[in-house]
Structure 1
Amino acid sequence: MTAMPLEQLVEALRGGVISLLSDGGAAQWRVTGAELLDHPEAVATTAPGHLLLGVGLDIADRDALGAALRTAADQSCALAVKCPTPPPPEVSAQVATARVPVLAVDPRVPWTRVQRLVTTILAARAAVAEPSGGTTGGDLFSLANAVAGIVGGAVAIMDTQQVVVAYSNLPDQPIDETRRRGILGRRVPEDAIADHLDREVWVSDTVVRRHRPGDLPRTAVVVRAGEDVLGSLWVAFPDEAASADCGPTLQEAARVAALHMLALRRQVDAEQESRDRALRHALEGRSGQGDPPGGVRLPAVLVGLTEAVQKGGDEESWEAGTAARRRAALLRALDLAVLDGRSLGYEPAAALLGDRVYVLLPAAGSGSVSTGVLLDHLLDRARHSLHRSFTAVDSPTVETTSALLAARRDIDAALDHLRERRAGPGAYHAGDLRPELVLRRLVGALREDAELRTGIAERLRAHDAEHATDYCATLLTYLRHFGDVAAASGELHIHQNTLRLRLRRAEELFDVALADPTRRLLLTLELTALSGLSEPSTRG
């Protein structure tokens, strides 16, 4: 397990995120991970050296703070609390006598972000064990500081999903609002993404100079491993003159950063594969079989996607002979879903089962946009990048594995319903389709269990087949229009008197009781189950 000196961790998280309140009387404390201090049972099994995050801890409550300090001391862990800078005198006095280090976290920074910052820094440190080629540069934060010290600017290193994976934190560095928001959010700010994704930066073999109005001038260089683009390294300078003659240094720094980012990518890919496997097992009802600890991350929203049926096309011919191309498109849609989810702040899990892609978007640590916005963005990307249209359905938030299985069942039913109705591609919500899904389940139960049927629909169908009549379609259309003779006869293309005659004959021949609400409801369900999805006939 990677251990990092506490002083280095604090240095890496400077810039308004974390500061040291008390060193606990020892300068060589080392941190191996982060753990939430909101679950006593979990803390009791925490290994020494973790940073305990005091979620919900009120530092003004002297007893609560004392209990948290004792817990940290019992587990040989450091403690982080939300605390303004400078801290209140009574808090300073209380933590000064603590036997463990105490860190102050900016109250504006969410605990989830603090946990992610700590784990990212530790992962970066773990990923940069001495490369075999002899080129070293410490971890990415150390590399950023080294480059900043050489060129006299403020360094930030981003991956291809616009995540700030490391940044320099030397004293008296130049800083502007874009850099400040990027560090606090660990992401390229929304208004700077267009500049960050400028094609000139990503295709250039040399450094590129950029200067957005209102920002400090910047120099950028792409980070590559062969032809594979891994990210970019940016330096903000106090003025244009300071950025001169730094090209060779930044290009060498980009080569060193590539070694570390490759290691980080391998770790991210392994974690992604682990999440995907756990989701696949959960959706197949076999959770726990070789899954990583914790399994799927819940609560979360489940999304199901399938390729949309082209309107006016024949579904059988659409499916025949195109299986390989369709599967390739689904696999590419799966990759897009994962990449878009990551780029917008989620840690998605994804699985391809049959002809459907399922994506799980955890609620904890969710991105800056809603799942609905993410889904619209994904469908738009698929339409332009894959030249394919998809239908997507998302579930309400699910809390348990059993609820996840139920969500998959509802999503599958919704996708079936939309395909059968030839609905257009786009994003739909299972909650909005709930009435249709309930009806499908009721009709499905009637089809499968004869004891749930009165048998009248079968008698009507048999009579229609034998005598070339059309009582089934007539009655179902009439019932679907709630007894509106004009609307029903218009859909059937028959005269209103003809419709009335058929209804009277049905009542005489088959004991149909259209005035009885219960029997009318049962007849509607049975006729719907019997008719399947066939359109009503127009025979006279």
Structure 2
Amino acid sequence: MITMQGVVDRVGPTLLRIIADHTEHPQVTDVIIVEAGKRTPVATGDLVLGIAVAGATDAVELVRHCGAHGAAAVLLKPPHATRNAVKTAAQRAKVAIIEVHTGAAWAQLVWLLRSVLDAAADESDASRAEGPFGDLFRLADAAAAVIDAPVTIEDANSRVLAYSARQDRTDPARVSTIMGRRVPDDVLARFRSRGVFRELSRGRTTIFVPAQRDGTLPRLIVPIRMGGELLGSMWAVVPGPVPDDRAAAFADTAPVVALHLLRRRAREDSERRRSAELIRSVLEGTGSARLVAAELDLAPGEHRVVAVDVQAQDPLGAEGVRLALVQRLTEGIGRRPAVTDMHGVLYAVVPDDGGWEQVRSTLATGGALVAAGSPVELADLARSRAEADEALSLLRAGLVDGPVALHEDVWAVLVLHRAAVAAAGVTAIGPLAALRALDEDSDGWYVDTLYEWLRHPGDPRAAAAALNIHPNTLRYRMSRVTGALDADLTEPDVRLALLTQLVALRWQ
């Protein structure tokens, strides 16, 4: 048995989205289709596909009927799933509403849902041992038989997910692709210059690429889509132009591959959510470090918590940036770093021995703000996370030069910042208020001049350089400051108190 939430998780957010969950029967037993003009029998735990729903009235009636017979959920396409009347009916009938992507084909969805139910009913250790790519390799072989040519199945980022047999009949570009499990950059550039990826995004059924001067053999490419989203592509190395009927047969295999890609992505999303929850609990100090280490196979030794400010970048969308950063954090760093997201900030737990430096080099040029806590044992990850947050706050405020800050490297700034926070209530005491009042009635240089003079004792040239003025100008301004300030600047305690107040003003 599998729950309704489990079905949605396995199918994935590309196709299904829970709008309202009022069901009293979360266990799913079957998938049924409501046909136009027929009152289809509904049983407890059914997922009911509202294929015949033509309007809000039909949707409300179907929801009431399904609720009366104990259905788990009603699946509707936009705009019916989000209508207020439908959601109200669902609440009263105690049934869930699931929205189906507008571009998804009902026939494909039925096949996918039933395959999810079958897999849940027949799940075993033996089937798990096959791994996430077992079916894809068989599909690659099947597609190769249809087109009579070696085939690769690639995701939307040109990473190889599976490939067929007979790759010895290909060219160096294909061999490099399989060996590296992704299309090499120079090969990508050649195909991009020929407009291949532009054609993939336009919705073509098949794309033929002739042989190239460097010896690259012709390709027949089929995009893999579901619900209007490009999930990947299949690439066949062919001897030349392919007859239309054979090319069409090759393209007909794409929907089946798309379903497998969606299932794979849903499984990975589920595993990623589980990992994220485990990491989140440890970073908040409520989880078991031993459990996290065992389940996520964290390397032995000290680790750092790395905080990445996702919101500090990219006007194109924080969610897209977040996904891209997760992908970058989970690739090429030996054992995969554990990643989670809290309050718009990405956190990664990486081994201090090598892992941190690789993360640092990976993200330092990406435009994000990156801060790391000190290396700690797994039981102290909450402390490292607090330190990463503190260093990140300095980057955000511009108090340290970015885009990367290591907690132990910015200790001097941290000391002043903490002192400023602790001294927040002392800025109104003493003669400094009079100097601040003069700033409000003048060009505003009194307080800044005193601050830099105190920061560079006995070095007027350094103080003047910090203010970007001539040393003689500094001396003139300090004579005005001394005359306006009712304080003896020859007293060490007076100078220290004033500097404390000035630091608090700047860093609060």
The TM tier, using the shorter chain, reads 0.5 to 0.7
CA distance in 1 between partners of 2:201 and 2:129 (Å):
23
Match among 466, 470, 477 for residue 452 of structure 2: 477
- Is the contact made by 1:158 and 1:231 (CA closer than 8 Å) also made in structure 2? yes
- Is the contact made by 2:306 and 2:371 (CA closer than 8 Å) also made in structure 1? yes
The CA deviation string for residues 119-161 of structure 1, in whole angstroms up to 9 with x for no partner, is: xx98694669xxxxxxxxx822122223334433211111123
CA distance in 1 between partners of 2:331 and 2:157 (Å):
4
The Cα shift of 1:269 comes to 0.9
Q: Structure 2 counterpart of 1:181, which letter?
A: S
Q: What aligned pairs does 1:86-101 form with structure 2 within 5 A after superposition?
A: none
Give the match's secondary structure for 1:166.
Answer: strand
The CA deviation string for residues 330-376 of structure 1, in whole angstroms up to 9 with x for no partner, is: 4443233235556878956554433x421427569x99x95456436
Match among 158, 164, 174 for residue 160 of structure 2: 164
The Cα shift of 1:166 comes to 0.9
User: Match of 1:209?
Assistant: 208
Where does the alignment leave 5 or more consecutive residues of structure 1 unmatched? 1-120, 129-137, 311-325, 380-390, 451-456, 535-540
CA distance in 2 between partners of 1:261 and 1:309 (Å):
30
Mapped pair 1:530 → 2:504: yes
Change over 3 Å in CA distance of 1:460–1:224 after alignment to 2: closer
Change over 3 Å in CA distance of 1:448–1:361 after alignment to 2: closer
Mapped pair 1:513 → 2:492: yes
User: Match of 1:48?
Assistant: none
CA distance in 1 between partners of 2:333 and 2:427 (Å):
58
User: Match of 1:193?
Assistant: 188
Match among 404, 410, 432 for residue 464 of structure 1: 432
Q: What aligned pairs does 1:100-249 form with structure 2 within 5 A after superposition?
A: 125=130, 139-170=135-166, 173-194=168-189, 195=191, 198-210=197-209, 211-212=211-212, 213-237=214-238, 239-240=239-240, 246-249=246-249
Mapped pair 1:417 → 2:394: yes
Mapped pair 1:337 → 2:325: yes
CA distance in 1 between partners of 2:180 and 2:231 (Å):
20
- Is the contact made by 1:285 and 1:405 (CA closer than 8 Å) also made in structure 2? yes
User: Match of 1:313?
Assistant: none
The Cα shift of 1:486 comes to 4.9
The Cα shift of 1:436 comes to 4.2
Percent of aligned pairs with the same residue?
25
Change over 3 Å in CA distance of 1:221–1:241 after alignment to 2: closer
The CA deviation string for residues 409-453 of structure 1, in whole angstroms up to 9 with x for no partner, is: 3443333323333899xx61113x855443223441465389xxx
User: Match of 2:414?
Assistant: 440
Give the match's secondary structure for 1:162.
Answer: coil
Change over 3 Å in CA distance of 1:487–1:503 after alignment to 2: farther
Q: Structure 2 counterpart of 1:273, which letter?
A: R
User: Match of 1:428?
Assistant: 403
Change over 3 Å in CA distance of 1:151–1:421 after alignment to 2: closer
Change over 3 Å in CA distance of 1:475–1:205 after alignment to 2: closer
The CA deviation string for residues 492-536 of structure 1, in whole angstroms up to 9 with x for no partner, is: 98661562686699898376239xxxx97x6686345433338xx
Q: Structure 2 counterpart of 1:222, which letter?
A: P
The CA deviation string for residues 139-189 of structure 1, in whole angstroms up to 9 with x for no partner, is: 22122223334433211111123221111134x731322222222222222
CA distance in 1 between partners of 2:427 and 2:296 (Å):
52
Mapped pair 1:395 → 2:372: yes
Where does the alignment leave 5 or more consecutive residues of structure 2 unmatched? 1-125, 440-445
Change over 3 Å in CA distance of 1:155–1:489 after alignment to 2: closer
The Cα shift of 1:472 comes to 7.1
Q: Structure 1 counterpart of 2:324, which letter?
A: L
Give the match's secondary structure for 1:165.
Answer: strand
Change over 3 Å in CA distance of 1:269–1:226 after alignment to 2: same
Match among 320, 339, 342 for residue 353 of structure 1: 342
Give the match's secondary structure for 1:509.
Answer: coil
